[in-house]
Structure 1
Amino acid sequence: TGYDSEDLRGMKVSELMGIPDPEKFQKELLEKGGFRGELIIHTRDGRQLPFDVSVFTIEDSEGDVVNAAGIGRDISEQKAAQAALSKRVWYEEGLAACSQALLTNANFDDALHEALFHLLVASRSSRAYIFENFESPEDGLCMSQTHEVCDTGIEPQIENPALQHFPYSQGFRRWCEILGRGEAISGPVAQFPEEERAILGSQGILSIIVFPITVGGRWYGFIGFDECRQEREDTEEDLRLLRTASEMIGSFVESKKFEQNLRVSEQRFRSLVENASDVIYSISPDGKFTYISPQFTESTGYDVAEFIGQPATLLLSEEQVEESEAWFNTGMPEHDEHVEGYQFKIETKNGELRWFTAHTAIIRDDSGNVIEGIGIAHDITEIKKLLESLEKTNRELVNAQAQLVQTEKMASLGQLVAGVAHEINTPIGAVNSMHNSLMRAVERLSNALKEKYPDEIGDGSDLQKYLNIIAEANRIIASGAERVTTIVRRLRSFARLDEAELKTCNIHEGLEDTLTLIHHEVKHHIDIIRDYGELPEFACYPGRMNQVFLNILNNARQAIREKGRIEIKTYLKDDLAHIEISDNGVGISKQNLKKIFDPGFTTKGVGVGTGLGLSICYQIISGHYGDIGVQSELGKGTTFTIKLPLNLDEILEARKNQK
């Protein structure tokens, strides 16, 4: 207390112990015989110390109180510890309430206002607020007050226009440096630099604590606590607990900014996806749809909800299901990160077939396990149609060009054949004429010899033998001349390939004309077997049909490596003339059979064939409103079957009238 025993002698107890009502205290002491409680001791230097005091009375032999004695214990440290603990609990309750507000309040501003209120109460401050940094093109880094809570009777500053755009360069460069380093600013304003005092003093601030708020590793702004009633010195414990509050605010702002950015990104992505002209989708590792964008309904007519949770293979055509299911059943193979340009067709709700090309990215977790596939499907139906139209046009151009080339070749061949036939026809005519004269002369000579030398011309005479030799020679000459005449006639018939008009003809004559042309190529190793049925004469383009026969027979000849046969069979069935040309050559594989009539396709070596012959045959038969098919087996041979209508003239006339 600073007093010695002499100083205390004669001093009233109430003065030393700060008893507010000495008479009442004395009365209670006498009645109860003692006192136990806390009193404030006034020290000599003016301090007030809390003491735990025990006082009891002393009585004489008659029971009268003659004196009082007591003992007191300084409990200043205990009281300080209790106050610090109480303050810490107060702060922690405030921090807990602040945390609860930030976690449970969905609204950003409401959450910060509620959190500031709890921090205001916990810190026993006059004003709590948040400032946010921003860059100004004119003023550089600036601060702007965004949230504020004030105690009763304290003037708010949230509407102060100066605090909505305040550059750090205008007197607060020190704050910019300290807060930017992550350190706090605190203390009585009177001790601050003059330029800071002027601005802070105008707001009635006597003491202040300011902590930086960090968001995403960057200085976002600061949280501040003003004391406007009296100056105060804050302890390290105060600063530590309030820094925790600033960190909580920073984490909250960071999470909200992240949520906002995520929400904006999601909205932007959803807007892009839902308004995209392509179908966006996601599929689970087992191949089931987890998301399909609305464009799916626009493209197919199906409701998206019908396919969510369903296998993606439900959309595919039957021939593509097996391939896709095999891919999904392997769990989206390890080596696949992207599936590029997978084309598939879908039958829409109205029965239309539409083509799509899909690009799918495989998403994996850190362990490499497939999470899902995300992809985009682009409708390529119109492109497919254009490509098919282009391919068709290209095929038609190739066929037209091939037809033109083939026609020119056949016309040249026809001219050559006609020329050769003409050159042969003149001498063979002379041979036939002279042979007839020779036959008559030999007959007359034989008769004359028989009349003049009847005894020398007998069955065994030399002269008769000579006459028999001459007769046999004449027969052979006659047969050969007739054969040559037949060949010339067929060559002249085949030579009429440039005749474009429709004619009624005997199809067997066309076959024989063509066989005559290839006779030299096949006579030594190929047997020609004819099985001609009863076919009436019918309208066709004979020159073009001869072109078909020549192409198929040449292919058959080339397919027979050594000894073989070619069989030609004709018959009437279902009012159609059937012409079958078969060979026992090498045959054609199933794979090549599918492409046998495609322009440019050939199984022959380079320089042997152009791949246009059968394509032209197909076009010629189609032009006759007929059909040409092929059956073949490797190692066993090939059969081409041609079917021709008997009334082509009527068909063409009917189509002409329709147009």
Structure 2
Amino acid sequence: MTQHRVLVVDDEEAARYSIGKALEAAGYAVEVASTAGEALKIQESFNPDVILTDISMPEMNGIQFIQQLRARPLPPPVIVVTASHTYDIAVQSLRQGAADYLTKPFDLEQLRNSVRRAIERRQLKLENLEYQRELEEKNRRLQEAEEMLRKHALELEERVQLGTQALLETELRYRELFNLANDAIFTVDAATGQILEANLQAEKLTGYSGEELSNMKVQDLYSKQELERVAKFESELAKAGCGCGVTGDIPFRTRDGQRIVLNVSCSMIEMNARQVINLMGRDVTAIREVEAELARYTQELEQKFEEKKKQLLQSQSQLVQAEKMAALGSLVAGVAHEINNPLGSINANNDILALAFRKVQDFVRLHPPGDGTDAEQELDEIRSIGKEALQTNRMACDRILKIVRSLRNFARLDEAERKKADIHEGIESTITLVAHEIKGRIRVTKEFGNVREIECYPNQLNQVFMNMLVNASQAIEGEGEIRIRTWEQDNTVRVAISDTGKGIPAELYSKIFDPGFTTKKAGLGTGLGLSICLRIVQDHGGRIEIESQVGRGTTFTIILPVEGAPERKTND
């Protein structure tokens, strides 16, 4: 229910308060003002249904206030409230447009009735004005309609004549466009699939005449082997509904059984109280065959690429394996050489021991105990020979054990996981295994600093040390020196391997770590050693620095973080 609004204007606060509370208790929305000027401002925003105003107010009295309100459009009714009992003031207020006149003191019921009647009169007035406006508008529209009907009556016959002629011309143009279109056009009953109309291009593509097509259903033209594909397309068209289009490829069968593919655009419309499908199709058979051929060719290229990629990876793996085998061959040669010497000593000592025991046997046979010969001296000589032979054999066996231990330490077959390791152990083991490469011509100087153990893969770092030492020995022609220095700096452990070889030109610095690049003679390497070393060091979070002077030698510095790189999978 609409809440009516009342504006109370009185310069006495007590009067404003009492009247406002009485009206709020009766369910009205109330605003108050102490002057007529303030009330005029509130009236613009509050838009009251009725105003109660005192007659005697400063600046502007009630009569003047009513005059100001009447100058505004659709002013609300005004009830004058005053303590004056003169008849003249009441008459003057009513003449100026006041709706009612109340004298103080007044009964609250009288106040409510007066406000209610004023609101009812205002509503009736507004309704009358609205009815009057509606009546005037209807009369105006009626006159305009009559005028339009007269004009239409005069123009109707002319328009019918012109429309008939235009319809005939439009029909002719439509027929011309319909039949001369480059795309096949079918008009189909959506409910039955009956072909209602087909253009010349449709006849040409399908091989049927227009009369034959008009006696067929569009389903008769679809390829029977691909009805599921067609059903999916029709389902999408049905979901789209009238006014929406659907496009896609549909396979058709021509009169002679040839399969053709039409890229069709279908839309459904209402025509003569039934739904009709307009189907426009363009022959894309050749295009789709080319696309299929391209797809097959692309697939073949991808397969060939994968095969080539696989071959490349296999070749790369073979090259890496060749480098490993080259290092292994060098290692095996060294091991064979190192083991051969103590084995020779053991074999020789075995012969000496055999001779000694034969002499013991001969001595015992020729000089049995108690014959008076001085046997003590002879037995001491035999024992001395046996002791010396046994010591030599023991030293040879220790040498073999050291070589085997160095080989195990180098391979670290039982330590493939990441762990803390002492790099000095790996370097010592590697020096032992490359001894055959340097013995007799190259002096190895070790300057090991006090360094911490580092997080690493020991077997991989041993491979780096092996490659570096072998490269250094091969770079030295004749006699020379390899210097190995270790120290700790900036939370890294550094290994500098220097040689007195022929050196590396500065222009080759950027190439020496490239896979396949080598400056060695044919048969001495694959060019993968330094590449593998760099990869291993980088996997450990480190780097390799190089300093070289042609004719004086080269220094490779391996820099490894103490804590190692983040955990990763080990390389195969």
- Which TM bucket (shorter chain)? 0.3 to 0.5
Q: Which has the higher strand share?
A: 1
